[in-house]
Amino acid sequence: MPAPGAAERIRIAWQQRPESDYHFEFWTAFGWTLLTCGFYMFYVVYQLVRRSRDHNLRRIALLEAATTFAWDKAEAAGISNELQPNFRRISAELGVLQRQAGEFRDPIVWTLISIVASTIVHVIVYILLDGDLVTHDRAEGAIEYELSIIYTRLGAPVPQPDPSRLKAKHEYVGRIVATIATCGIYAYWWLNDVMVEGNAHFDHNWHWEDALVASVQQLGV
């Protein structure tokens, strides 16, 4: 079968959101952790790592397809040369996301490791996921910004990303000290931050993706 076109790949990635962008409810997870004497936390670790990895892969597919679609439309409109600097900047940021996709983030392996040394591994996972989110958000935010310029030039505006959504890295040393000083209790507060910040990131993405799909439909296949 022929490979799907760029517009179809955008639609597919858009529809796959429920499969990758897992929303956490901290108190639900905390309750199940208590009821299962801590065993549910291993599932939480699995889902935290899985959603970070799968969300990045889905966003790469969507942003690459959105870029290809825009390039085809720009060439058809005779303005591709004018927009080349924007496309070059997109290519550089896509490279950041692609390199991130190659990092060691296997959810099954991290879950198995957490069974051996739970609290220590959980802290490591929180640090890795926080750093991943910061890097990922800055790269895709830059791509969204360039695409918003391109699609506006094509006559189907896409809103620019909200710069206030960008978060700073957690204060890892302070949080580790707090976790040790509270005999691990602070780790639950940290877990809540990781969950909530991931959820908020997805919400921002979904709003922008909905506008992108509407713009693609406006431009037509």
> And the tokens for 87?
């496309």
Task: Provide the residue type at 206 as one letter.
Answer: W
* Residue 96 structural domain: 6-219
Q: What amino acid is encoded at 93 in this protein?
A: E
Q: Would you state the pLDDT for residue 113?
A: 93
**Cα angle at 171 between 170 and 172, to 5 degrees?**
95
**Which parts of the chain sit beneath pLDDT 50?**
none
Encoded tokens for 179: 């976790």
Query: Is the residue at 147 inside a domain?
Result: yes
Determine, yes or no, domain membership for 153: yes
Q: Is 1 inside a domain boundary? A: no
pTM across the whole model: 0.94
pLDDT given for residue 12 in this prediction: 96
What lies within 8 Å, CB to CB, of 77 at 6+ separation is 154
Structure tokens at 79: 């303005």
* Degrees to nearest 5, angle at CA 153 with 86 and 144: 50
Identify the DSSP state of 169. Answer: P
Of the candidates 219, 152, 216, the residue with the CA atom closest to the CA atom of residue 7: 216
What local confidence, expressed as pLDDT, does residue 2 receive?
58
The confidence score (pLDDT) of residue 221 equals 61
The pLDDT value recorded for residue 93 is: 97
Residue 144 lies in a domain: yes
Residue 127: inside a domain: yes
How many domains, in total, are found in the chain? 1
Q: Cα(189)–Cα(102) distance, rounded to whole angstroms?
A: 29
